[in-house]
């Protein structure tokens, strides 16, 4: 995409692809003028409060609502018995067990009638004229729940005699997953000169989006139509899920989304609260609003990560990788979220082999039900986990074999000349220069000078460690996307697409693509994503897909605009459409200087331009991509340095550098910001974030008093550099960037911490590496050496 005239009145040089254009949403958001779900209030709306289980596991004997129903302001109280006409929340991934049988997908009603299965399970909803009245009535509801033993850890749930959550899921196994050929992998391990083995825990996280979940249910009795105002990751997908659960035709559901204050995967799916809100709105004839408080968020928002794996890497005598094997557990929580099994199964397969030549991979995962909050996608959704497991194994193998860890990586990297490369994960890498990125990261981080810095730290009584973490991510699976372009009556141009901005800053880069393609003024371009009535398709935002998916759709839609414009311009300029060329925002008769700008043409159409029969009367298009848009392969290398105080276990991140390949970069300012955010979340998981349950299933880390979040003072300056190798799978050459920071941070941080602790003979430490854990690891190592 080259615009020939970079000096036109619309500033293409300033606002085109590759320019660091400021986020156009920010002036509104930073002044507090954003419109989030809780900012919305509808006429005559009522308020809902949910009653939640205080038991981790138990049989529902009775829910007594009699006293609560008579309290002031109470309009209605609903339990699961009132919602029997609706469908259940569903897991949509079509996995099969290793023996070919179907995975277990127990039905989940919006409000349970038989058992509660985690603390926070919603069991009733009170609707009243004020929030305070609804809260008072909710506290007056008496529940009789017969306690049952609980289990919250996946490996514990797999043990004989563990409490069973579902009769139809013996042993609490939702899915017994297998990828690869175990016999071939076993043979490779048997022939290996060396095998490295590590137990690797990817700890559970509370997502903690800035904006708590909230929703308003509406029902129009005349049209029989439901409307849900909600913060989520895509209007089209949310609508389709609701249509299925409500059991109504597609035209009877509308989803409207304003600003969304973060999600990271957590707000992607329908939650059980949404159906009772819509039911209440229909029954009461008025809108019903609910906003979670922060404690509700801790105990009911989907959590992230929570995997337990044993990783093994087989190598020949020279350190060449022969096979890798991961066997372990994925915690699903009490019910299956729509894509819950994906993170600990297929996404480990796709991402663990990363940038390396690994002939064979086996992943064997038991996805387990436990008495805990559901686990679903969290920034990376299995991608950072897979990369983390591989990079930890490589560091350990290098130490055990006496091979330099940098050299071991170099000899197993896929070379640029070997791409396209068919990975053992089943993916075909279409682009990349992994060795060049690795070497630049080593140079940027001044790895050569590390020994000197380590000696300086030792003089100050500190342990210094350097960790390197290469990563490759396989983005969201192929699907189609909408790229509608509408020329508005006021002269604006609206992009309509089915991704959803929940903090990423879509408006500016999407407009940059359209500006460069069509020459439309950047400041006249608007973005519409959050109204399901406007969408013909939409995969939502997730899996780092938005830029390449919507970008491809916008380009294809723009091609249709150009084709229509040539016909219209031909009529205006009195020339054949075949003689019309388009460049830099102008339609021109080939070989002449006679032309008309696209915005001028749109203005003439608004003014009622008379056109011959058969010529389009509008430049607007409603376009959906012709084919599913393939996955892409962002990759990079991050290098972290830490210093540890051995007397306290306190870790300071003293240096952080990264080199990343995101293909064509539309807006470098926004890309750097995405990496920064991901790195912060990765460092948070590595150092401090920890979700803990007691033996009865009570969440012990249910507030910010108990759950540590990273703060500015915990973060280093994050070095960011790009080494773009354009993707070949989409016309922009774009690769996703939204999740990469986590993948690089988990690997480099934990490798750096273990490197620092290796002075005491520590070979592994689980996340989070809190001061207590680090101090204890040092003391344990001292005790071993003293024996």
pLDDT higher than 70, residue 3: no
Distance, C-alpha 201 to centroid of its chain: 20
For residue 549, which of 479, 622, 474, 633 has the smallest C-alpha distance?
Answer: 479
Whole-angstrom CA distances from 114 to 90, 166, 322, 389 are 18, 11, 50, 39
* Cα–Cα distance measured from residue 624 to residue 535, given in angstroms and rounded to the nearest whole number: 9
Q: Among residues of the chain, what percentage have pLDDT more than 90?
A: 97
Tell me the β-bridge partners of 331: 368
Contact between 177 and 364 (Cβ < 8 Å): yes
Contact between 518 and 585 (Cβ < 8 Å): yes
* Cα–Cα distance measured from residue 122 to residue 273, given in angstroms and rounded to the nearest whole number: 8
Q: What is the mean pLDDT of residues 72-88?
A: 97
Given pLDDT bands bounded at 50, 70 and 90, which one contains residue 594?
A: very high
Contact between 363 and 177 (Cβ < 8 Å): yes
Report pLDDT digits (tens) over 618-639: 999 999 999 999 999 999 999 9
Q: Which residue has the higher pLDDT, 156 or 16?
A: 156
For residue 465, which of 655, 244, 209 has the smallest C-alpha distance?
Answer: 655
For residue 695, which of 114, 123, 147 has the smallest C-alpha distance?
Answer: 147
Tell me the β-bridge partners of 309: 200, 328
Give 44-76 as a DSSP string: T-EEEEEEE--SSSEEEEEEE-HHHHTSTTEEE
Half-sphere exposure at residue 528, Cβ-oriented, CA atoms within 13 angstroms: 20
Given pLDDT bands bounded at 50, 70 and 90, which one contains residue 786?
A: confident
Given pLDDT bands bounded at 50, 70 and 90, which one contains residue 9?
A: very low
pLDDT higher than 90, residue 8: no
Given pLDDT bands bounded at 50, 70 and 90, which one contains residue 11?
A: low
* Cα–Cα distance measured from residue 531 to residue 256, given in angstroms and rounded to the nearest whole number: 5
Report pLDDT digits (tens) over 135-150: 999 999 999 999 999 9
Report pLDDT digits (tens) over 474-488: 999 999 999 999 999
* Cα–Cα distance measured from residue 647 to residue 645, given in angstroms and rounded to the nearest whole number: 5
Q: Can you give the C-alpha Rg of the chain in angstroms?
A: 28
Residue 320, SS3 per DSSP: coil
For residue 671, which of 20, 30, 15 has the smallest C-alpha distance?
Answer: 20
* Cα–Cα distance measured from residue 486 to residue 489, given in angstroms and rounded to the nearest whole number: 10
Burial class, 357, CB count within 10 angstroms (exposed 0-12 / middle 13-18 / buried 19+): middle
Residue 338, SS3 per DSSP: coil
pLDDT score of 15: 87
Contact between 653 and 500 (Cβ < 8 Å): no
pLDDT score of 71: 98
Residue 428, SS3 per DSSP: strand
pLDDT score of 12: 58
First to last CA, the chain: 69
Contact between 515 and 498 (Cβ < 8 Å): no
Report pLDDT digits (tens) over 259-315: 999 999 999 999 999 999 999 999 999 999 999 999 999 999 999 999 999 999 999
Report pLDDT digits (tens) over 162-171: 999 999 999 9
For residue 165, which of 335, 42, 307 has the smallest C-alpha distance?
Answer: 335
Half-sphere exposure at residue 73, Cβ-oriented, CA atoms within 13 angstroms: 18
pLDDT higher than 60, residue 1: no
Query: Looking at the chain, how many residues does it have?
Result: 787
Q: What is the mean pLDDT of residues 760-767?
A: 96
Least confident interval from 4-18, 45-59, 381-395, 579-593: 4-18
């Amino acid at each position: 995409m080259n615009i020939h005239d970079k000096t036109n009145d619309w500033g293409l040089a300033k606002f085109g692809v590759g320019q660091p254009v400021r986020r156009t949403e920010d002036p509104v958001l930073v002044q507090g003028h954003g419109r989030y779900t809780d900012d919305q209030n509808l006429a005559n709306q009522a308020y809902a409060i949910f009653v939640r289980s205080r038991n981790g596991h138990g049989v529902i004997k009775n829910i007594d609502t009699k006293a609560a129903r008579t309290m002031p302001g109470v309009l209605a109280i609903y339990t699961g018995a009132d919602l029997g006409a609706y469908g259940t929340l569903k897991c949509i991934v079509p996995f099969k067990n290793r023996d070919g049988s179907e995975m277990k997908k127990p039905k989940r009603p919006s409000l349970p009638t038989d058992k509660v299965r985690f603390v926070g399970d919603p069991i009733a909803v009170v609707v009243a004229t004020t929030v305070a009245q609804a809260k008072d009535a909710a506290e007056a509801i008496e529940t009789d729940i017969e306690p049952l033993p609980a289990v919250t850890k996946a490996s514990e749930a797999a043990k004989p005699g563990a409490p069973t959550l579902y009769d139809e899921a013996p042993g609490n196994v939702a899915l017994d997953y297998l990828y690869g050929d175990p016999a071939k992998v076993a043979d490779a391990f048997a022939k290996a000169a060396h095998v490295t083995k590590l137990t690797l825990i990817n700890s559970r996280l509370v997502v903690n989006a800035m904006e708590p979940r909230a929703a308003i249910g509406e029902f129009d009795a005349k049209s029989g139509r439901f409307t849900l105002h909600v913060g989520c990751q895509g209007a089209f997908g949310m609508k389709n899920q609701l249509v299925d659960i409500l059991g109504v035709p597609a035209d009877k559901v509308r989803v409207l989304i304003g600003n969304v204050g973060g999600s990271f995967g957590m707000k992607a799916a329908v939650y059980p609260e949404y159906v009772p809100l819509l039911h209440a709105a229909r029954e009461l004839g008025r809108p019903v609003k609910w906003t979670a408080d922060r404690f509700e968020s801790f105990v009911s928002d989907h959590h992230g990560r929570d995997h337990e794996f044993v990783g093994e890497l087989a190598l020949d005598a020279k350190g060449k990788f022969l096979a890798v094997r991961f066997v372990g557990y994925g915690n699903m929580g009490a019910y299956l979220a729509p894509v819950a099994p994906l993170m600990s199964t297929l996404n480990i397969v796709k991402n663990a082999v990363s940038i390396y030549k690994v002939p064979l991979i086996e992943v064997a995962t038991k996805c387990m039900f436990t008495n805990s909050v559901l686990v679903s996608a969290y920034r990376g959704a299995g991608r950072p986990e897979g990369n983390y497991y591989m990079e930890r194994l490589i560091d350990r193998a290098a130490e055990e074999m006496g091979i330099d860890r940098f050299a071991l990586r170099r000899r197993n990297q896929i070379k640029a000349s070997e791409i396209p490369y068919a990975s053992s994960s089943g993916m075909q890498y279409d682009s990349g220069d992994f060795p060049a990125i690795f070497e630049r990261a080593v140079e940027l981080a001044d790895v050569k000078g590390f020994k000197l810095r380590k000696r300086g730290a030792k003089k100050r009584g500190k342990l210094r460690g350097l960790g390197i973490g290469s990563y490759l991510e396989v983005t969201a699976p192929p699907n189609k996307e909408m790229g509608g372009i509408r020329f508005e009556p006021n002269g604006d141009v609206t992009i309509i697409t089915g991704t959803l901005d929940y903090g990423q800053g879509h408006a500016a880069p999407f407009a940059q693509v359209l500006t460069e393609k069509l020459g439309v003024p950047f400041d006249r371009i608007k973005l519409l994503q959050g109204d399901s009535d406007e969408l013909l398709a939409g995969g939502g935002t997730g899996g780092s897909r938005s830029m390449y998916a919507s970008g491809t759709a916008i380009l294809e839609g723009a091609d249709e605009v150009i084709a229509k414009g040539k016909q219209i311009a031909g009529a205006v300029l009195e020339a054949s459409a075949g003689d019309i060329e388009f460049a830099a925002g102008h339609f021109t008769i080939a070989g002449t200087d006679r032309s008309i700008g696209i915005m001028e043409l749109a203005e003439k159409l608004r003014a009622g331009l008379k056109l011959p029969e058969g010529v389009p009367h509008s430049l607007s298009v409603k376009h959906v991509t012709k084919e599913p848009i393939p996955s892409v392969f962002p990759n990079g290398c991050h290098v972290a340095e830490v210093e540890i105080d051995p007397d306290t276990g306190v870790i300071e991140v003293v240096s952080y550098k990264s080199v990343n390949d995101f293909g064509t970069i539309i807006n470098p300012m926004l890309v750097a910001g995405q990496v920064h955010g991901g790195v912060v979340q990765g460092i948070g998981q590595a150092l401090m974030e920890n979700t803990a349950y007691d033996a009865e299933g009570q969440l012990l880390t249910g507030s910010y008093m108990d759950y540590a979040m990273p703060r500015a003072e915990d973060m280093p300056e994050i070095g960011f550099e790009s080494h773009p190798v354009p993707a070949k799978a989409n016309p922009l050459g774009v690769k996703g960037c939204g999740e990469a920071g986590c993948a690089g941070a988990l690997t480099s941080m934990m490798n750096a911490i273990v490197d620092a602790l290796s002075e005491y003979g520590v070979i592994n430490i689980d996340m989070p590496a809190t001061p207590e854990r680090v101090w204890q690891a040092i003391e344990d190592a001292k005790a071993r050496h003293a024996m």
